[in-house]
Amino acid sequence: MYEHQGLQDIIFIMLYGGATIFAIAACCYLLLARGAAFFPDITPPRSLRRWAAAFMASVALSHVWWVVLGIYCLTEDRLVRNIMGIMLDRITFVPLIMAVLIRMLQDRKRSLIPVALSTIPFILFSVYGIIAHDENTENYIEVYSVFIISTFIIYMVRAVIQYGKWLRDNYADLEHKEVWQSFSIMALLCIVFVIYCTNAGHIAVEYLVQLMTYIIIVFVVWRVESLQKLPISSEKDDADYTNGNQKSLNIKQLLVQHCEKTKLYLRHDLSLNYLCHAIGTNHYYLSQYFAQQGITYNTYINTLRIEHFMSIYPTMRAEYKTAQQIAEVSGFKSYSTFSAAFKRIKGQTFKEWISTLS
């Protein structure tokens, strides 16, 4: 902010300071709040809240050290000042947002060691640039930054696809569980990063960066608050139900007896693990059964729910004022989930089906 007229722009200073205070407030909230204030019925992953709080702290500190470096320290040496500021951002802000995005994936615990190791070249480039006073050091850092971000995007695309498959194999209700929306923040960061690197110092770009900071803070807090913590099936869970006669069990018969006849599928947030325990089999054999049928667990449960809904709708629409209420008693937690499942399974929208009844 010290390379342009921003220091004389009171509105920009207020925006800059406000972003710092906002980030600090978000950090304190994520660390100290006992639950999700905005989504009280959701229990977010504890580790995700801590990583998100660390990210918020890095956002606030970034605003602080750019001011300190630009106004109070190294005011006569622009190159060293910029290298130090950029390095501090790259070894805090960048790896922490990566950690937050990775921790949103709950199908398995992914190591963050590669993320930590990716910061080492930033430090080495910076040390070299400061010692050699090389004007090209900033370019080296930016090129490596693009490489790291591109590599991470490729990794996350694959990881999110795998995560989506895991969700559909294990959960009937995907609301508050999917994380593909999180890519919007990554795209936002990449766009701002490219714009800032090519136009650093321009007052319009600095305004844009600060506005994006507010958006990023709101998005991360919302995403952390709205993401439900999911249990991961363990090998012990599978072993508890494994025995010599397991392969001979008729999974279809067990499902009919313990899920379809008892209407267990009407239970909200019914997971594959819960169904395994209910029918007396394990995760591996039940997953294998669905794979042999060419369906996912999500499709199986929601098909039963849709069929149940269609069977009771004609007689219950007089008792219930809205289709949403009937969808809820049919096992769906929200109308949006019901609507999406209805179209995917029946090949037509709910409204189109209603028109056929008329």
pLDDT value of position 243: 45
- Per-residue confidence at 284, pLDDT binned at 50, 70, 90? confident
> Would residue 201 be called left, alpha or beta, if left means φ above 0 and alpha means ψ between -120 and 50 degrees?
left
Tens-digit pLDDT profile for residues 47-100? 999 999 999 999 999 989 888 887 777 567 788 888 888 899 999 988 999 999
Contacts made by residues 289-294, CB under 8 angstroms, sequence distance 24+ = 289/251, 289/252, 290/169
With CA atoms as reference, report the closest residue to 260 among 252, 271, 249: 252
- Per-residue confidence at 317, pLDDT binned at 50, 70, 90? confident
What average pLDDT does the segment 158-177 reach?
Answer: 90
Tokens 């008329």 found at: 358
CA distances from 36 to 30, 39, 78, 176, 277 (A): 9, 5, 44, 13, 30
269 near 230, Cβ under 8 Å? no
> Which residues are within 8 A (CB) of 150 and not within 5 positions of it... i.e. 6 or more apart?
none
pLDDT value of position 358: 64
> pLDDT at residue 333 above 80?
yes
- Per-residue confidence at 4, pLDDT binned at 50, 70, 90? very low
With CA atoms as reference, report the closest residue to 58 among 15, 98, 91: 91
Tens-digit pLDDT profile for residues 183-199? 776 666 666 666 665 55
- CA angle, 272 as apex, 282 and 225 as ends, to 5°? 135
pLDDT value of position 85: 87
Tell me what the pLDDT averaged over the chain comes to.
85
What's the chain's Rg over C-alpha atoms? 26
Tens-digit pLDDT profile for residues 63-74? 898 888 877 775
CA 259 – CA 308 distance, rounded (Å): 13
Tens-digit pLDDT profile for residues 199-228? 555 777 788 888 888 988 998 999 999 998
> pLDDT at residue 144 above 50?
yes
CA 294 – CA 305 distance, rounded (Å): 19
> pLDDT at residue 235 above 50?
no
259 near 297, Cβ under 8 Å? no
Instruction: Give the 3-state secondary structure of residue 178.
Output: coil
Q: Fill in the DSSP letter of residue 305.
A: H
- CA angle, 263 as apex, 257 and 265 as ends, to 5°? 105
> pLDDT at residue 244 above 50?
no
